[in-house]
Amino acid sequence: MPTDFAPYANLRLLIPQPAVAPANFRSGVPTSTASWILHVFAKGPTTIGQATPSVDPRTRTLEGYITAWASRPANTSWLQPTSALTWDTTGLAPAGLLTGASGRGFLGVLESLPTVQGQQGEATITSLGGAFGPGGIGAELRAQLGDAITVELQVAA
């Protein structure tokens, strides 16, 4: 069942899946070729801050909830229409997604894809999971809203 925020998703993330450690190094070190595409309902500052020595105006910190995710098929664009992918709409993060993972981000109207109407840049997951933990009220919120996520998006100037 889709989360309550699913109709309002406005951030798409492309995050490479971590490579599996090899049994031995004679066969070589595997590279990660698979990726996740995440849809997130994200909110952040309404304006980008002014440039000061300690603030980069191109960096946006966005907080929100995962609404859906899909595995990206090989040799496909990550900005393809939503209908072209098979989505997990539970709002729960895919197994193996960790804080610190980085990839690409698109902030804008997801329904308009593949026509890009928004901002693109480098994205880093700075926080994953809710403030209330996995049990009690945290379990109730997670079922209705999805997993909480904080993303730092570095957009082009």
- Report the pLDDT averaged over residues 58-72: 93
pLDDT tens figures, 105-149: 999 989 888 887 889 999 999 999 877 776 788 888 888 889 999
Mean pLDDT, all residues of the chain: 85
* Phi, psi (degrees; rounded to nearest 5) at 42: -125, 145
Ramachandran category for residue 118: left, alpha or beta (phi over 0 → left; psi -120 to 50 → alpha)? left
Nearest to residue 97, comparing CAs of 69, 119, 56? 69
**pTM as predicted:** 0.84
Task: Return the SS3 of 63.
Answer: strand
- Residue 48 clears pLDDT 70, i.e. is over it: no
Residue 49 has pLDDT above 70, yes or no: no
pLDDT above 90: percentage of residues in the chain = 50
> What ranges do the domains of the chain cover?
6-17+32-44+55-155
* CB within 8 Å of 100: residues ≥ 6 apart: 124, 125, 126
Note the pLDDT of residue 30: 60
Query: Is the four-CA dihedral 42, 89, 8, 34 of positive or negative sign?
Result: positive
